[in-house]
Amino acid sequence: MDEYFATMPVTNATVLCVGSVTRAETERAKDDGLEIDGTGYYANATAPREPIQLLAKFFSEFEAGRFARMLAVQTV
């Protein structure tokens, strides 16, 4: 991840994140057959020593922030 809006632990090893993706993550996703341009903000799951799993792309920074705030409320 390049920069984060929010993170939320799902298990001891898996974290749900909202933020941008790096160029390397974009290339890896393209190699896996995903149509991704690497711009904007994404929801993804990540675990140690595993590639990220892209779950969704947000249409705007506002929507990514809204989802991040929803995650923050769920972790309290």
- Of 52, 36, 47, the C-alpha closest to 2 is 52
* Mean pLDDT, all residues of the chain: 84
User: Can you say whether the dihedral through the CA atoms of 66, 69, 75, 76 is positive or negative?
Assistant: negative
| Count of helices and strands (H, E) across the chain | 2, 4
Q: Report whether pLDDT(1) > 70.
A: no
pLDDT category of residue 58 using cuts at 50, 70 and 90: very high
> Which residue range(s) make up the domain with 67?
4-75
49: helix, strand or coil:
coil
> For the chain, what is the domain count?
1
Q: Report whether pLDDT(2) > 60.
A: no
Q: Report whether pLDDT(20) > 80.
A: yes
Residues 41 and 48: their CA atoms lie apart, in Å, by 21
User: What is the mean predicted confidence (pLDDT) over 5-27?
Assistant: 87
